[in-house]
Chain A
Amino acid sequence: MSQKIRVATTSLAGCFGCHMSLLDIDERLFTLLEHVEFDRSPLTDIKHCGPCDIGLVEGGICNAENVHVLREFRKNCKILVAVGACAVTGGLPAQRNHLSLADCLQEVYVTEVSLEHGGIPNDPELPLPLDKVHPLHEVVKVDYFLPGCPPSADTLWKFLTDLLAGRTPSFAPELIRYD
């Protein structure tokens, strides 16, 4: 039987940089693993999330699949955390938000000359893009926000240790970064 806290992680419209930052807590990972075990996560390759205590989600919401995954996390995780600039604000993918999706697709798949076989992909296997990229809290309720691109290893560590110790996470200014 496990007394450990179950944690799931995923990257939506993100770059896995936040996950890299989590790995950057270095030797503290061992301490962490004494207290947590991972459910769905790139670290475990579990495909679907079961009941968890904490869900760490990096990346914003840019397509239909992101919505499904995020909902799965919300349904299963007691505490849902938006990790990193993209999850908190939409981040760099949201740089397309002032343009129309039609113009973006047209430019990338039709106008752009470097593509040999032009045409907008329409395979049903592919998730359809949303017209705008959204932060997580516009689609589900989010409990905590960790800004930063990525949030530093120290920020993630402070957050997790505060939470594990039953404290409300708090941060000195140097741990709050938007880049």
Chain B
Amino acid sequence: MTHELQSILARHHDDPTRLLQVLREVQEALSWISPESIDYVADQLNLPRARVEGVAGFYSFLHTNAACRYRLLFSDNITDRMLGNQALLAALCEKLWVERGHLSEDGLVSIDTTSCTGLCDQGPALLVNGWAIPRLDAARLDQIAELILAQTPVAQWPGELFAVEDNIRRADILLGHELQPGDALRAALSRGGAIEAAANARSWREGIPTAEQGALTTLEEIKKSNLRGRGGAGFTTGLKWEACRNARGPLRYVVCNADEGEPGTFKDRVLLTAQADLVFEGMTVCAYAIGASAGKTKGFLYLRGEYRHLLDPLNEVLARRRAANLLGKGILGQAGFDFDIEIHLGAGAYVCGEESALIESLEGKRGIPRNRPPYPVTHGYLQRPTTVNNVETFCAAALVSAQGGDWYRSIGTTKSAGTKVLSVSGDCARPGIYEYPFGVTVRQVLEDCGAANTLAVQISGPSGVCIAVDEFDRRIAFEDLATAGAFMVFDASRDMFEVARNFAHFFAHESCGFCTPCRVGTAMLRTTMDKIAEGHGTLYDLAEIEKLDRVLNQSAHCGLGHTACNPTLDTLKRFRPSYERRLKSQDFEPAFDLDGALAAARRMTGRDDAGAHLSTEDA
């Protein structure tokens, strides 16, 4: 074991900011993170042991309980459920003689669920030791069970099991561009600029990097394009880049947020598969524009753990770009333009999609959102100026650099320039990736994807908004339906209460636990939804949900808490009957099943007389 740990730590230069990467590799090598390996890592990285244990305990894909050769995690998004993941999970448990959530006695296999794995267009899906397997059905489960029982190492499982489709159904300027690697960068480098001298005088006084040829005009193009962040919040990219450029200190970081965890969202997976060059090119343009290229600076791509299968292909793209002088020292022959990108892999924590939590995670810590201000543009990675943008934003920035801000701004709507890549899943004939100019109606998307008899669409995932039929003429745009890309379709056969309940479980599972309202409130929302599902709900519970929403909005530390009640309140507003038919008619209902609460005592005493039972209502 020590030898393996040694080589992992050596690969990471005993650098404590790489703790999460180290632990992730320990997990891959040993199939768990043993107490001994925590001791060893803590010792080598010169960290308190409890700190290492605390980080290992934060991430869902790091396991500190026991070794296990095959860890199977079924994706448990509502779209997986609609495709029958629960029956498949139960069937596999039976085949392998294990109980859900419990490691088999021989330490061979464990089966559990995980949050959405971003394969909604080809679900149900699972992860085996972190590797994604889409399109599960009975035949595939048989195959998987046989491979496990034969103890075939996952690396030797047939490749076709792991084949993930892109399913690009509609391409526009982004997915349909004809740029060659380097085109956007060359365009940036070739821009001159009259504002350079004045800016550099400021640079000298305030310790801001000197502007290279064209960097400021490229920044101007980005501003002119009116490009807004594609992660959901929609902050103007040009302003973010400019604030980062003008932040004090010589070093800057460019971080690509590829922690695409919002259930129902998978467009970044496809962009990283089909447009990896464009992503990296956008990051490099950003580095150039914000002045991250002078001196020791770096770019990071923070890839969600669920996309482990993309790591090696992406690293190959990076290697190819280095060889082509599109990364590394003196990019495209421009002296002093040094920039490289490194990929960090997450380990199962939705909250790390919040940019400051992502930065904490990049620094090897528990992914807890920071107090803001200060913001990452001034105090980001290692407290230095950092630009964090979504995968799709960097792609769009590359397009802007290549073809200009005016061109980009001419596409879409007045307030929402360009196009949006949607991840369409759920009840439709053609789930997959659809790119539209901003302003497209929900109705149009539904028509294109072959949705019929649609009851509701969840826009932008659980933290977004759920809309009903009378709202299908609304538009995908920042001024109407802002979205990070998820577009989950539910037809009239679906029970929207169960959709909201699935999302309530999601938030409770993913709350980081830092602040009281979210840690406790999301768990309370989950128990309240379960209570209603079990038939013990009353109007009082609906009032309690509204109270939880108020508390979370007033006091939660980050957006996860602020939005946690949205799916429940949205569906309550639009699909109230699906709640009401579960509620007891009387104004008071015991909070639990009274007779059920006597079951354990009946079992222990062997009694079944009348006195050993309680009616729900008093006789």
Contacts and interface: CB of A to CB of B under 8 A. Distances in A.
Asked if A and B form a direct contact in the complex, defined as CB atoms under 8 angstroms apart, the reply is: yes
Given A67-B614, A134-B591, A122 B597 contact: no
Contacts of A67: 594, 614
Nearest to B599: A131
Contacts of B594: 67, 130, 139
B609 interface: yes
B588 interface: yes
A138 B619 CA distance: 18
Given A124-B609, A131-B599, A102 B604 contact: yes
Contact of A64 (B590, B598, B604): B598
Interface band, chain B: 20 to 34
Given A67-B614, A138-B590, A102 B603 contact: yes
A129 B612 CA distance: 9
B590 A139 contact: yes
A71 to B, nearest CB: 4
Contacts of B599: 131
B601 interface: yes
A127 B605 contact: no
Contacts of A134: 591-592
A139 B592 CA distance: 8
Interface in A108-138: 120-122, 124, 127-132, 134, 138
A105 interface: yes
A140 interface: yes
A131 to B, nearest CB: 5
B618 interface: yes
B605 A128 contact: yes
B611 A64 contact: yes
Given A67-B594, A132-B597, A101 B604 contact: yes
Contact of A128 (B590, B592, B607): B607
Contact of A101 (B600, B609, B611): B600
A118 B610 CA distance: 25
A128 B591 contact: no
A131 B594 CA distance: 10
A78 interface: no
Contact of B614 (A64, A102, A121, A131): A64
A131 B591 contact: no
Contacts of A75: 618
A127 B607 CA distance: 11
A141 interface: yes
A93 to B, nearest CB: 14
Contacts of B590: 138-140
A140 B614 CA distance: 14
Chain A binding surface SS class = mixed
Interface string B575-619: 000000000000110111010011111111111010111100010
A130 B605 contact: no
A11 to B, nearest CB: 20
A102 B600 contact: yes
A100 interface: yes
B600 A122 contact: no
A130 B618 CA distance: 17
Q: Which of B590, B592, B594, B601 has the most CB of A within 10 A?
A: B601
A100 B600 CA distance: 9
Q: Which of B594, B603, B613 has the most CB of A within 10 A?
A: B594
A8 B609 CA distance: 30
Nearest to A110: B604
A71 B618 contact: yes
Nearest to B606: A122
Q: Which of B587, B590, B597, B603 has the most CB of A within 10 A?
A: B597
A130 B601 contact: yes
Contacts of A100: 600
Contact of A131 (B588, B597, B607, B609): B597
Given A64-B611, A120-B604, A128 B588 contact: no
Interface in A67-108: 67-68, 71, 75, 100-102, 105-106
Nearest to A109: B604
Contacts of A64: 598, 611-614
Contact of A141 (B588, B604, B606, B618): B588
22 contacts: A64-B598, A64-B613, A75-B618, A101-B600, A101-B604, A102-B603, A102-B604, A106-B604, A122-B607, A124-B607, A124-B611, A124-B612, A128-B601, A129-B598, A130-B597, A130-B598, A131-B597, A131-B599, A131-B601, A134-B591, A138-B591, A139-B594
Interface of A: 64, 67-68, 71, 75, 100-102, 105-106, 120-122, 124, 127-132, 134, 138-141
Given A102-B600, A122-B605, A131-B601, 6 more contacts: A67-B594, A102-B604, A120-B604, A124-B607, A130-B597, A131-B598
